[in-house]
Amino acid sequence: MAKNDKKEAAEPNKLAMIILAAGKGTRMKSPLPKVLHPVAGRPMIEKVIQASKKAGATDLRVIVGHGQALVRSVVEPMGVSCFVQENQLGTADAVKAAQVETIEGDVVIMNGDHPLIEAEDIKKFITLFREEKCDLAVVTAVVKKPGEFGRIVRHKGDLKAIVEAKDASADTLKIREINTGIYIAKAETLAEYLPQIKNHNAKKEFYVTDLISLCIEDDCKVMAIKASPKVAVGVNNQQELAHATKLLFKRKALRLMEDGVLMIDPASTYVEESVEVGAGSVLFPNTFLRGSTKVGSFTVIEPHVFMSDSEIGDSVQVRAGSYLEQAIVHSRASVGPYARLRPQTTIGEEAHVGNFVEMKKVKFGKKSKAGHLTYLGDAEIGEDVNIGCGTITCNYAADKKKYQTKIGNRVFVGSDTQFVAPIEIGDDVVIGSGSTITKNVPAKALAVARGKQVIKENYTPKAPAQPKSEE
């Protein structure tokens, strides 16, 4: 042990994570690996990895098996190492697959289907584990309905055993303190006792819970660390997936309100953890904000707005039913109702994008307006421009390439105008309604391109006389 003591002294705060993600998740009734099912918008294992990193883990090892190619595609870009559990022989077998003999310091073992875990939770477990100088610990929680969880049996306050629900007596089943499936151990403890676990059970599997009894029998320092019931929330079926999502959205809503965000109905407002919203902003019911979205202060997001990876300034109004993806809206602008801003669209300060207006890859200038029923794509629109109803930039040509429309400052575009790109419109231009503009227009010009109106008087023939009906 002297050698191990030296290793621990050299790396007193080194932390490793073993995240179990090899299971099939048959109760999900889904072809997608269980840990990749989205909880509040992101794969649940992603949340476990993020919490682990924030807690200070520098060595993260994910155990993969079923659907490993898909799991790897999600977790490896996050900087973790994947280890394969070749056969489903139980949780201890999965931990062995992590090559524990190559790990140093303290190790947290947990499942990849616990999306409610947070960095602060892990930090608390580790701090208590180290303060008590434990060799092994199991994280427990007291819950209202223990169900199929293993029960924590104590004697004079100390951990005595973990009894699985199927093996428990009627009295033991009354115990409400359960095993969350999270363990903390010294690396050398795992290396020593994992090989001693036997598969003497009906399923012929190796269970990590057996570490507890082995270490207790060997007079190691073992303890049960009580945690919040949320730590015990795992996901095994679609109902639990929906419940976990609801809890995460609720947690985010509470934190936003604590920071001064107004919510009309938090229960029907869906904001992902990664989203930022400034104080004084108002979120109406049935809004969905996701990804890297940032919303400034004093902005109003009306009902049924979907916003993804977008940046919204201060004092913006996004009216009902609008859809924004990878868009930027500067301060004091208004969008909607029922507007769509597609990727690479930027709306300038005090600009107005009205109902049933769609923009894609557009720079829309300060104080410019597009009131309704308009499509603008691959365009640069100057400041203080008026875009009339029914205006279209014809950016997609017969050669299957897209071309750009450039419109200068203070341009007035009449209704039902088409700009056939590539085309440039100078400053202070007036475009007559109903025009199809195919040539560049210089500054301060009037452009009208429409068929000549023809009037033929007395053109409508008289209606034939109707026969009189016989009486």
Catalytic residues: 372
SS3 of the chain: the string is CHHHHHHHHHCCCCEEEEEEECCCCHHHCCCCCHHHCEECCEEHHHHHHHHHHHCCCCEEEEEEECEHHHHHHHHHHHCCEEEECCCCCCHHHHHHCCCHHHCCCEEEEEECCCCCCCHHHHHHHHHHHHHCCCCEEEEEEECCCCCCCCEEEEECCEEEEEECHHHCCHHHHCCCEEEEEEEEEEHHHHHHHHHHCCCCCCCCCCCCCHHHHHHHHCCCCEEEEEECHHHHCCCCCHHHHHHHHHHHHHHHHHHHHHCCCEECCHHHCEECCCCEECCCCEECCCCEEECCCEECCCCEECCCCEEECCEECCCCEECCCCEEECEEECCCCEECCCCEECCCEEECCCCEEEEEEEEEEEEECCCCEEEEEEEEEEEEECCCCEECCCCEEECECCCCCECCEEECCCCEECCCCEEECCEEECCCCEECCCCEECCCECCCCEECCCCCCCCCCCCCCCCCCCCCCCC
Distance (Å, whole) CA 293 – CA 308: 6
